[in-house]
Structure 1
Amino acid sequence: MLDDTEIPILLTRLQDKSPQVRAKACKALGKLGPKVLEFKGIVPSLLRCLEAEDWKLRAAACRALGDLSDGVLRYKGVVPALLSCLEDKHWKVRRAACLGLACIGHEVLKWTDLGSSVRPYAEVVQGFLRCLQDADRRVQAAACETLSGFGSIILEYKEVRECLLSCLQDEDSDIRRAACKALGKLGPSVLQYEGLVPSLLRCLEDKCRSVRRAACEALGELGPRVLEYGEVVPGLLRCLEDEDRSVYHAACTALGQLGPKVLENREVVAGLVKCLTECSKDGEWYASYVICEVLGKIDSEVLQSADVVPNLLRYAKDKDWHVRDAVCWALGQIGSGVMPYVDVVASLLGCLEDNDKRVRRIACDALSKLGPKISKNGFLKDSEVVPSLLRRLKDEYWCVRSIACEALGNLGSEVLRYPEVVPALLVGSKDKKREVRRRACLALCQLGSGVLQYENVLPSLLRCLEDKVIRSHVCGALGLLGLEVLQDEDVLSSLLRCFKDEDANVRDDACGALAEFGPEVLQYGELVSSLIQCIWDDDGDVRDTVEDVLDRFGVALVPGLLGCLKSEDWGLIAPACWALGRLGPRALRYEAVVPSLIRCLEDDKDRLVRDDVCDALGKLGPEVLKDADVLPNLVQCLKDEYKYTRRAACEALGRLGPEVLKNREVVPGLLRCLKEEEWVRTRQAACEALGQLGLGVLAYEEVVPSLVACLADKDWGLRRRACETLGKLGPAVLKDAGVVPGLVSCLGGGSWDVRLEACWALGELGEGVWSYPAAVAGLQRCLEDENLWVREAARKTIEKLGGKASFGG
């Protein structure tokens, strides 16, 4: 095995006098791949090899350059050298050049030396077209098959498509096969070009078996969209009856690749079942395996009409393990649809005792997938399901042990009728393989609170909670055991530690476990506090899980959140405020919510808490104004020393709506933030709030001039909000002569967001805007704006006002 230390030696050998030595060095460098490009001199040396007299050396150098991938394109001489090799006198060199260019990939198509008037990949394509018409058939076949290396962009060339069509009808079977393979590798992009798929379908009837096989494989690779051609399924069905085994292998695989829709066709299913029977008679294990895998994807509604399950069960004892494996897999994939067949469970139990570990593993997996249905349909009574799985817990193959644990868990609490189950799973929780330990613990939790009557269960779970490898999964499953498990102080302490674990997955699963426990878990104040603190977790997945838990518990969380507000730790108060805000008006069912928030606003000196309290009050809605202390405190926060608090107060007042105007200090406070604030985000919030408070703000003379001034601000976000606010205030703002000119100035240049809002605002101001010629001209310019949304906004504004005044005033 070569390594990086060999590269300098190989570089030296490229200078050797012997062509054989140099050719071997080329092959070795190609095997090392793109990393050899880090060494200077490699590519120039390979290019010199392309000029050697020995054809074997030239061919080896072509292949090596291809193996180095598109990194070789940094060297200008590579593509011209390979293109010249496409015309080499020896066919093997020409073929190697084809393969080399294709391995470099679609980036090679961008190379050109013919000027800007020529499509950038013209020279490479023309070189390949010459190879597709080469005198040597082997070169033609190589060029055809390797076309796919350039990707679907190569099909943009009409000459290439015509050449492919010609190759599909060539008298040489190798060329027809290569064309089929190329179309398959080019993928669904082939479907947009006429003629290619019909020609491919004709190849299904080819006299050469390798061509028929390649055509089947290509149709499968084209994916479900190829079903638009009605002849695809009938053609593949005919191939299921082909005398050549490789052809019906390929046809079976292709039908599976075409998606579930094709398996709704009863003829297809019947054909597959028939083929399965014939293959098993002939000892064709691979074909049987492929067919079983395809049958596993069938919709349960089609099962009975084609006798799929009985035919699958017939091969559960096939002499080849591959077939037995595939049968078990198919039964598991079909799922509940197999349950009406009484022999299914018996067949799977037989496979649990199979001599081959892979069959035992897949049989366990199938029983695991069928677990809930097995219990529901009463198969556990007087059956060997549980005893057989218990034997598999002692299997020599760890993967079998692991899935046997999972299967027992999926069978549910009914398995507890067998006293051996829990002790066996406890043994599994100590297994040397982590996956066995993990699934054994999960199975114990899935069996429910009934396992807690066994004295060793809790100590085992505690041990697993200390296991760094599996504790995340065990923590997440604890909720399945019910609240009873939290009565153990050690379990509760371990779960609380999981909320502060350094592993984000553990924290995530700890949060999720609370949801599994249900609303009753909220009586544990420490757990609620730990959950709330995770709202500010560094990991996004943890935060998402917390939000899901909050949504699931809803207002039942409020008492716990109110308890958090009494804490002296701002790291707990702040996320509790956020959680209350997320609950919205529903939280006001508890009368203590608003007074508790106000108390935090008045008493707490931490600026982060004031920020979140303001935010929560705004999100709780106008109902909070029934508390006389809310407005004065929010107005006071407009003067807060902390900019985030000032912004949050602006946003809260805006959300609470026009009712806040009963306090005469609200608008002056917002105007002060709008005009004097240094931080633009606060100014934006104040501007937006004025628009949310409605026409009542116009009672204050400074409002409109202040908004007009914002239209000229350097911050585009503030300009956009000023446009939006003026539009919301409507025609009444036209009393200020600066409004329309200010909006018109926003129609030109800058951010498209601003232009869009300015167009909308002018439409909201009414026909009075047409007395400003600049407004007409500005809207006309916007009809030709580079941005679609701006053009649409200008058009709608003109249409809106067109009935009141003719366009152009």
Structure 2
Amino acid sequence: MTDQENIWDLIGALGSESENVRQRAREEILKRGVEAVPALAEAIDSELIPDEAMAFARGTLAAIQPRFQGEIPDALIEAALAFWAASDPASRALVNFGSAATAPLLALLTQGDKTIYSSMAEALAQIAKVDPSVMPAVIKAIDDDNWIVRKGAAEVLRYAEPRPEEAIAPLIRSLKEEDKDRRSSIVWVLEFFGAAAVPQLLNSLRSPDWCVRAGSACALEMIELGRKVKSDREPYTDMGVVPALVEALSDECVEVLRAAANALSIIGPPEANPAAPVLLNILRERNPLTFPVAASEMRWIRYSDEGLEPGLIDTLASLEDELIDALTDRDSGIRAAAADLLRRIDVPVMFPLVLGLLSAMEDQDEEVRFQTALTMAIIAPRFAARGVPILHSALVHSAERDRIRDAIWGLSRSGRAAAVAIPAIIDALQYYSVADAAAAALACMGPLASAAVPELLRMLQKWDEDTQAPAALALEAIGPESASSAVEILIDRLRDTDEYKRYCAAECLSQMGLPTVKAAIPALLDLATDESDRVRSYAEMAREWLGSDPSQLR
């Protein structure tokens, strides 16, 4: 038997039912050291090891030490470069080498021909804690001409503790990428620097490079949002972010305008109120390039939003006539954006608006027709029947998840006229990303959606935390028979060994309520002895139901 065959036998023994056999196999593998790495990494990545032994195998790989001081096995580095299961334990093994691993890891980082994934980046950041030569080299690599090198260096900085502030400037320079995904990966790292990065980002909003300006706005958005979220723990101080972003709304580059407007919409009122007049002026200019951007990023300005100054609300109300007029603009992008914004700012439904929307539903541009039909369904459902064919067509023919969800949402608000779309909505139940929306729409249609019962029951039986409640509520809305079938499934799930499934089933029954779930009350009362506090609380709910109406048990 060759050494490698012997190693594979030892790896197989890691899955033994005997703890003694597993421990002896681990000790023998550790003795083999470097030569065991390739087979062990392959076994982990290809899932040749039983699930119950996988953690043990990963720990074995992570514990491997060099045979000789300073020796770094190539096989270990190859395993750390893997994207799958072996990467994490192999990277932890590299940390065990300490500063001896610095040179090969930095060489790998600066070579630029292989992607550095998070596990290896974290390993290098851990080694930097004991080897002060690491961080200067990483910071220098951020300015490398090779994107793979820059990306790897940024990934290391994400895990660095403490994060060196001298890395902020080169990270900002690395925002020069025209590829939005690349910029986003750098923005993500800048976010970890928090307020320390704000002054330099405010300066880079005036960079001659539009990519740097757009990336800086995105980074400020993420940092400012984080500062607001943590304001209960860390004092929030005004660092001049909003005025700088408002100024960026006048940028000649639409991408920068979009990034700044999106940042302001995320920050929201009252801090972002100074942006409202600027965005409104952009709308009034009717520029085909900037109008859709301003319209799409005004979602935070609504009549009902707290924090808006009365003057801004009045100004927004006065915009209605201009938006109705924009429905007939020569540019289709402006027409579609106007229809979309009319829906989102909750304008009062007036006869001129309805006439304008009815006319826009005959538009030659498909996007204008869709946005108009959706707006009509939301703000004037009495007139929504005209838009049902448009929404139905989008549901059937679109491949975009967001478009399908919007179409389903609009159809759910369109009343009986939307019954023609029920078969297409039932088909949508099979797609996880829109299944919850489809079930909610079928609930709105009630008994008209009886054909959906078999598929809804299958959805409920499969169990998924995101679709369970919508499916059950749809079955309840369709009729007593389908509701009873849903309750039976949920009662059975109350007895599941998985605590989370019991909790979700109980919560779902609570949403359905009486009298639909009358048959479930005994099972809910049995939860009084459940090991989970949150599950037991539903037994108390059932007792309260009985207290209000003892006849429910009869």
> Which bracket does the TM-score occupy, shorter chain normalised?
0.5 to 0.7
Separation in structure 2 between the aligned mates of residue 506 and residue 208 of structure 1, nearest angstrom: 46
Which residue pairs with 2:485 in the alignment?
578
User: Paired residue for 1:657?
Assistant: none
**Equivalent residue for 1:411, pick from 329, 341, 345:** 345
Provide the TM-score with structure 2 as the length reference.
0.56
Aligned alpha-carbon RMSD (Å)? 5.3
Q: Is the 8 A contact 1:201 1:215 kept in 2?
A: no
In structure 2, the CA distance between the partners of 1:460 and 1:148, relative to structure 1 (3 Å rule), is same
Cα distance between partner residues in 1 of 2:157 and 2:141 = 25
Given that 1:479 and 1:513 are in contact with CA atoms closer than 8 Å, whether structure 2 keeps it comes out as yes
The whole-number CA distance in structure 2 between the counterparts of 1:214 and 1:538 is 43
Match of 1:512 in 2: 440
* In 2, Cα distance between equivalents of 1:393 and 1:502: 29
Q: Distance in 1 between matches of 2:109 and 2:121?
A: 16
Q: How does 1:42-191 map to 2 (within 5 A)?
A: 118=35, 165-166=102-103, 178-179=110-111, 181=112, 185-191=116-122
Tell me, yes or no, if the aligned pair for 1:203 and 1:212 is still in contact at 8 Å: no
Question: Partner letter of residue 165 of structure 1?
Answer: T
Higher relative contact order (CA 8 A, sep 6+): 2
Distance change in 2, residues 1:537/1:212 (3 Å): closer
How far residue 619 of structure 1 moved from its aligned partner, in angstroms, is 5.8
Q: 2:215 aligns with which of 290, 304, 322?
A: 290
Q: Does 2:201 align with 1:272? A: yes
Task: Report how far residue 547 of structure 1 moved.
Answer: 5.3
Pairwise CA distance, 1:392: 4.9
Q: Which has the larger radius of gyration?
A: 1
Structure 2 gaps, min length 5: 1-31, 40-76, 399-403, 492-508, 525-554
Contact 2:99 2:127 (C-alpha < 8 Å) held by counterparts: no
Show the counterpart of 1:314.
247
Report the CA distance shift for 1:259/1:532 in structure 2 as closer, same or farther (over 3 A): farther
Is the CA contact (8 Å cut-off) linking 2:442 and 2:474 kept in structure 1?
no
1:361 aligned residue: 292
Q: Is residue 459–residue 467 contact of structure 2 (8 Å, CA) maintained in 1?
A: no
Aligned residues of 1:434 and 1:469 also touching (Cα < 8 A): no
Distance change >3 Å, CA 515–CA 527, structure 1 → 2: same
Taking the TM superposition and a 5 Å limit, the aligned residue runs for 1:707-786 are none
C-alpha distance in 2 between matches for 1:116 and 1:445: 67
Q: Residues 638-649 of structure 1 correspond to what in structure 2 (within 5 A)?
A: none
- For 1:459-470, what aligned pairs fall within 5 Å after superposition? 459-464=385-390, 467=393, 468-469=396-397
CA contact (8 A) 1:185 1:218 kept: yes
The runs of 5 or more residues in structure 1 that have no matched partner are: 1-114, 123-144, 170-174, 565-574, 594-615, 624-809
Spell out, residue by residue over 1:601-644, the C-alpha distance to the aligned partner (whole angstroms, 9 max, x if none): xxxxxxxxxxxxxxx99867599xxxxxxxxxxxxxxxxxxxxx
* Aligned equivalents of 1:311, 1:397: Cα separation in 2: 30
C-alpha deviation, 1:202, in angstroms: 0.8
Name the counterpart of 1:442. 374
CA distance in 1, matches of 2:35, 2:336: 62
Cα distance in 2, alignment partners of residues 167 and 589 from structure 1: 66
- Give the superposition deviation at 1:365: 1.4
Q: Deviations over 1:680-700 (max 9, x none)?
A: xxxxxxxxxxxxxxxxxxxxx
Rounded to whole Å, the distance in 2 between the matches of 1:429 and 1:357 is 20
Q: Within 2, Cα distance between the matches of 1:188 and 1:533?
A: 45
The letter of the residue matching 1:276 is L
1:798-809 map, 5 Å: none
1:426 aligns with 2:354: no
1:239-638 pair list within 5 angstroms? 239=170, 246=173, 249=176, 256-258=187-189, 260-263=191-194, 266-277=195-206, 279=207, 283-297=208-222, 298-299=224-225, 301=228, 305-334=238-267, 336-337=268-269, 339-352=270-283, 357-371=288-302, 377=308, 378=310, 379-383=312-316, 385-390=319-324, 392-394=326-328, 398=332, 401-412=335-346, 414-417=347-350, 419-449=351-381, 452=382, 457-464=383-390, 467=393, 468-469=396-397, 473-474=406-407, 476-480=409-413, 485-486=415-416, 491=417, 494-495=418-419, 497-501=420-424, 504-505=427-428, 511-513=439-441, 515-516=443-444, 526-527=447-448, 529-530=450-451, 532=453, 534-536=455-457, 548-549=469-470, 551-552=472-473, 560-561=479-480, 564=481, 575=482, 577-581=484-488, 621=522
The reply to whether residue 192 of structure 1 matches residue 108 of structure 2 is no
CA distance, structure 2, for counterparts of residue 503 and residue 515 of structure 1:
12
CA gap 1:332/1:401 in 2 versus in 1, 3 angstroms: farther
Query: In the alignment, what sits opposite 1:766?
Result: none
1:212-246 Cα deviation digits (max 9, x unpaired)? 9987643433474x14x1033x1223547xxxx84
Amino acid in the other structure paired with 2:386:
S
Q: Which amino acid aligns with 1:407?
A: L
Secondary structure of 1:230 counterpart: coil
- 1:223, 1:257 within 8 Å by CA — same for their partners in 2? no
The alpha-carbon deviation at position 295 of structure 1 amounts to 1.4
Compute the displacement of 1:291 (Å): 0.2
Q: What letter corresponds to residue 275 of structure 1 in structure 2?
A: S
The answer (yes or no) to whether the contact 1:315–1:327 under 8 Å persists in 2 is yes
**Contact between 1:295 and 1:308, CA under 8 Å: does it hold in 2?**
yes
1:309 deviates by: 0.8
The amino acid across from 1:464 in the alignment is I
- Could you tell me whether the CA contact under 8 Å between 2:220 and 2:263 is conserved in 1? yes
> Displacement of 1:208 after TM fit?
10
**Aligned CA distance change for structure 1 residues 188 and 376 (closer, same or farther; 3 Å):** same
Task: Decide whether the 8 Å contact of 1:352 with 1:363 is kept in 2.
Answer: yes
Question: What amino acid is the match of 1:308?
Answer: V
Letter in structure 2 aligned against 1:477 = G
Aligned 8 A contact 2:288 2:331 in 1:
yes
- 1:50 aligns with none
The count of aligned residue pairs is 403
Q: Equivalents in 1 of 2:176, 2:253: separation in Å?
A: 17
Distance in 2 (alpha carbons) for counterparts of 1:220 and 1:435: 39
Q: CA deviation at 1:331?
A: 2.0
**1:221 and 2:155 correspond:** yes
CA distance in 2, matches of 1:217, 1:434: 40
Confirm or deny: 8 A CA contact 1:168 1:199 kept in the other structure.
Answer: no
